[in-house]
């Protein structure tokens, strides 16, 4: 996330490309949510903007929602271990303590990631900034029992939480 924060009033006056550029990184993957939300301007405030972004995400076809979920990195996955996560994802995983794991804990996360991918066909998404290692591991165990439809809904709820925290970092 950029250090400079931007006012909602400034976002409201931007053309679509500037709006998309200003909110790059709020969601993982291509900026289709932000691009589509631009049409809903003006926004009364950050909460109104977040509601509009989530409405676009939640009303998208399921294939597009799954693509959004798949754009998220695995927790303690290859990208994290290689140091190639986005700065936002790196900070979020570090906030949960996932950058300070033992080799055994890394192996546990990698096993759970593989089981989750095999079960659902997309990565486990959880708002790491609202969790720590123990609650994330418990989340894997609990959520592996869900149906695919339940997991899509849960992942989208977690993405909404992530987006809200990233908006709070970016927009005043």
Q: Which residues are catalytic?
A: 72
Give the residue carrying structure tokens 């950050």: 46
Burial 101-139 (b: 16+ CB within 10 A, else e): beeeeeebbbebbeebeebbebbbbbbbbebebeebbeb
């Amino acid at each position: 996330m950029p250090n400079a924060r931007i006012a909602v009033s400034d976002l409201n006056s931007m053309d679509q490309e500037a709006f998309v550029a200003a909110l790059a990184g709020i969601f993982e993957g291509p900026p289709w949510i932000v691009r589509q939300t631009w049409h809903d301007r003006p926004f009364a405030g950050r909460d109104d903007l977040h509601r509009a972004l989530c409405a676009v995400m939640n009303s998208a076809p399921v294939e597009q929602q799954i693509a959004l979920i798949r754009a998220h990195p695995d927790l303690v996955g290859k990208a994290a271990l290689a140091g190639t996560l986005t700065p936002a994802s790196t900070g979020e995983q570090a906030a949960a303590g996932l950058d300070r794991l033992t080799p055994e804990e890394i192996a546990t996360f990698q096993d759970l990631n593989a089981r989750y991918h095999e079960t659902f066909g997309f990565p486990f998404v959880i708002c790491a900034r609202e969790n720590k290692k123990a609650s994330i591991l418990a989340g894997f165990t609990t959520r592996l029992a869900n149906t695919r439809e339940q997991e899509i809904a849960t992942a989208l709820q977690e993405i909404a939480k992530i987006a809200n925290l990233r908006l709070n970092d970016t927009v005043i």
